[in-house]
Amino acid sequence: MKLSQFNFKLPKEQIALYPNSVYHEIKNEKGETETFRTTRRDECRLMVLHKKSGTIDMYKKDENGNPIEGEFILFRDVINYFDEGDTFIFNDTKVFPARLYGTKEKTDAKIEVFLLRELNEEMRLWDVLVEPARKIRIGNKLFFDDSSTMVAEVIDNTTSRGRTLRFLYDCPHDEFKRTLFALGESPLPRYIIDAREVPHATEEDMEDFQCIFAKNEGAVTAPATGLHFSRELLKRMEIKGVNSAFITLHCGLGNFHDIEVEDLTKHKVDSEQMHIGADACSVVNEAKAAGKRICAVGTSVLKATESAVGTDGMLKEYEGWTNRFIFPPYDFGLSDTMVTNFYHPLSPLLMSTAAFGGYDLVMEAYDMAVKNGYQFGCFGDALLILND
């Protein structure tokens, strides 16, 4: 397919800058009104797409099966579409505070440093992105705190914006990581940061931009669909007998890069590290063999499981990297249902969604989402794709 087939007009006011929230106004001691925000992860909207029947639902239904106009399906209602024994596959990667701000030696120029991954634990080597890149050359030193104790030296160029940094900080590795991460902030996507009144992440963002089941550190962006699951919803799923399996794919920045070719077969994506263990395989394969539904939670799970599914349709243990790029047409081997967010025009995440739900039907759902005020992006509303 062609890149231009995934373009559409998205009003900027429909790009979510915060997770679904409830706002409270409280009078302080001075009589002034202060506004507080409470995150409600599982109360965003949920659109439901039925692949085989070609129908799309936005509204809840009455006892006769008729849509109740104006009463939108919410994410917490996702449990109503699954039965005992059905299995959700989650990505339990954990986001670390990857965005730091430093100053360049001598000039005191302000530099943003985005940590990608640690290359060598003993030597304190990190693969990073820097902005503005034109100011940063091999041999430059960057200072990250007022006391000048956290210092890094640029030792190599990797890409136009990429650099290899060696941190000059002599202490045990665990202490170094704690100190480094204490200087960082939540790695919210630039489209969120740049659109906010204050172009910096807050302390609340580190919690909001993290799945409640996050466990294995290594992601520089959250597996966004997993953000909608609250502890209450997971408990309701457990009580109903819906199973959960956890795999790990450390989400990188590749899905935020512009695709520069019209022919999608020529696009190359960044590799991401992943792990699928025996426990996840056991839970998923037992459900699969029993004819139960397997639901991929997000495109990262879709990518990981399609990289590890066998020719027999069963999930295999996997340790390594994947650069799988999923776009229509694609023959899926494992999951038969999927829940995902609504994403930006020309996004690889939209392409993966269209491959799973069918291009025409998914683009129809996106058109309905735009017309009905759904929110898009990492903090946006969600789409459930059922194979019925």
Which tokens is 304 given? 């990981």
What was the pLDDT predicted at 30? 74
Mean pLDDT, consecutive 10-residue stretches, the chain (388 aa), reads: 96 95 71 73 96 96 88 97 98 97 90 95 94 92 84 91 92 92 94 90 93 97 97 97 98 91 94 97 98 97 97 96 96 97 97 98 98 97 97
Residue linked to tokens 């969120």: 192
The DSSP H or E segment spanning 243 is strand 243-249
Task: Give the pairing of strands 243-249 and 151-157.
Answer: unpaired
Question: Which pTM does this prediction carry?
Answer: 0.93
What was the pLDDT predicted at 114? 96
What was the pLDDT predicted at 47? 98
Any residues with CB less than 8 A from the CB of 125 and at least 6 apart, and which? Answer: 118, 119, 155, 164, 165, 166
Question: CB atoms < 10 A from the CB of 170, how many?
Answer: 8
What was the pLDDT predicted at 255? 87
CB 136 within 8 A of CB 111: yes
The DSSP H or E segment spanning 113 is strand 110-120
* HSE, side-chain direction, 13 A CA sphere, residue 43: 7
Rounded to a whole number of angstroms, the distance between the first and last alpha carbons of the chain is 25
Q: Put residue 174 in one of left, alpha, beta given phi > 0 → left and psi -120 to 50 → alpha.
A: alpha
d(CA 362, CA 196): 29
